[in-house]
Every structure is written in C-alpha cells, then in structure tokens.
Amino acid sequence: MDSDLTAITNIGPATARALIAAGVPDAAALRRIGAHEAYRALLAAGERPHFIGYYVLVMALQGRPWNDCRGAEKTALRERFDSLVAETHGAPLSGIEAELDLIGLRRP
C-alpha cells in the first residue's frame, strides 16, 4: 500500500504499514491526531509497546532526528508512554490469560 507517511522523517515502510493497518492512512491523518493518539492506535491494533518507537514518532512529527530526545524531555515522554501503555493494556496478565495473549487471542 502506498502512503506519504514515509515522506515524514524517521518513518520507514514498516512503520507506515503498521500505521495504515492501525487506521492512520496518511501523513495528514497522522499530523491531525498526533503521535500520542497514533501510538494508541498502534497499541490497539496489537503492536507491542516499545518506548523508542513512541518517541521516534514524536520526534518525526516535530521534524527532529529520532535520537534528538534527551534529558527532561525524554523523561516526560517516558511518563506519557508508560501512562498510555497502562491505559491501553491494563494490569499485566498472568497464568492462562498471559499464554492466550501470547498466541494472539485478545483480552475482552
């Protein structure tokens, strides 16, 4: 699927495909909803949480190099990321629920 998402610095073909699959079809939609909500969509679509992926998306929409996030800014983004993950994933699963989640069966 072609998309102008890869025209945004730091967004490669794999990330573009994941965003499209998560319902973010193009750069205009990504800019409209922002990095935080786009990452929420990725998590809802089944992507595993990864902090670097989160802040790379934030940096991308600011037109900054992916590794430009440091210090207090990075700490604040980590807090937002952790909050988003907790909000979307809830409490950690254990036992049979964790095993079912590992093989791709979604929690209710």
Q: What are the boundaries of each domain within the chain?
A: 4-102
Give the pLDDT score at 97.
Answer: 57
Residue 91 CB partners (closer than 8 Å, separation 6+)? none
What pLDDT, on a 0 to 100 scale, did the predictor assign at position 1?
47
**Total Cβ atoms within 10 A of residue 85:** 18
Instruction: For residue 88, name the pLDDT band (cuts at 50, 70, 90).
Output: confident
pLDDT reading at 26 higher than 80: yes
Q: Is the pTM of this model over 0.85?
A: no
Judge whether residue 53 has pLDDT over 60. Answer: yes
Could you tell me the CATH superfamily of domain 4-102?
Answer: 5' to 3' exonuclease, C-terminal subdomain (1.10.150.20)
